[in-house]
Amino acid sequence: MNRGPVIVTCAVTGSGDTASMHPGLPKSPKEIADACIEAGEAGAAIAHLHVREPESGDCSRNLDYYREVVARVRESSSDVILNVTCGMGGDCFYEIAEDPEDGTLTSVGKSTDLVGVDQRLAHIEELKPEICSLDCGSLNFGTGAYVSTLPMLREMAARITAAGVKPELECFEIGHVALATRLHEEGLLDDPPFYQFALGIPWGATADAASVQAMVPLVAPGANWAAFGISRNQMPMVAQSLLLGGHVRVGLEDNLYLEKGVLATNGELVTKALRLMGDLGAAPATTAEARAILGLRGTQ
């Protein structure tokens, strides 16, 4: 069991179609920055963020939004560690038309958002947060697919590391863990690598102890790892990850409810996780302790 210091990450908003489900979901840059600060004040060492269109709440890759969120947090008194996504730009949906004469397939839908490495990393290389997420492989994701190929991941890992940013190696199934470890073996990641097991997302690994137990043996020697579950599995996976030796993540990206029928805030989810950790005899990491554990810049 991991009795501490346990790194608590709060994923404050995500990119899913959840804005219509929760009137308090952070959407504007100010709201997202405030949510990061709120998570830190509640006891999370790390705030993981995406950006959204302020009015609609739709997912976004707008660099100006990222600039504003990061600036607001950095200009505040908060010491929370920022973990900025670079997972946007990999969405692929089967919205195509077939030419009846030659069988050529042409995209006709507007949901697909596939871009290259330069666009996926533009905000990371400019803003240089302490951590950014790196989704370590492709995956059938809901009704579509998330696409991130091995050549792309090699280039992204090298460029993120060169920027002085720690990649959080997001693994949605067991093969992603093996791929992330290969990136480390190839010298593309600094020690110690940091894995995040994202569990319960259709159609990836299930949110249970069996998935974690299959993934942990594949991480690189000396690595840090965390695991989280979505929806009703969020708090059970806090306990499972702790019991199996890992760090934890909560937040509105993964779960909207504090309990059945009661919508949550990010701060409330962090507080609930800390209470559960305390009941299990685990202590949360401070931001200074988290930086030291992960080997973030300035602590190496």
Structure-model confidence comparison of residues 107 and 204, the more confident one:
204
On whether residue 299 sits in a domain, the answer given is no
**Tokens representing residue 65 in the block:** 């939004």
The region, left, alpha or beta by phi > 0 then psi within -120 to 50, assigned to residue 235 is alpha
What is the pTM for the complete model shown?
0.94
* Parallel/antiparallel/unpaired status of strands 166-171 and 139-141: unpaired
Residue numbers of the domain that contains 167: 8-294
**Tokens representing residue 108 in the block:** 């006709």
On whether residue 1 sits in a domain, the answer given is no
Per-residue b/e over 116-151, b at no fewer than 16 CB within 10 Å? ebeebbbbbeebbbbbbbbbbbbbebeebbbbbeee
Averaged pLDDT for residues 96-109: 77
Which CATH number goes with the domain that contains 219?
A: 3.20.20.70
Cα–Cα distance for residue pair 229/215, rounded to 1 Å: 14
On whether residue 155 sits in a domain, the answer given is yes
Averaged pLDDT for residues 236-265: 97
Question: Dihedral (C-alpha) 283, 169, 194, 3: value to the nearest 10 degrees?
Answer: 20
On whether residue 290 sits in a domain, the answer given is yes
Asked if residue 300 has pLDDT above 50, the reply is no
On whether residue 288 sits in a domain, the answer given is yes
Cα–Cα distance for residue pair 137/70, rounded to 1 Å: 27
What is the count of structural domains for the chain? 1
On whether residue 125 sits in a domain, the answer given is yes
Interval 202-228: pLDDT, tens: 999 999 999 999 999 999 999 999 999
Give residue 298's pLDDT: 58
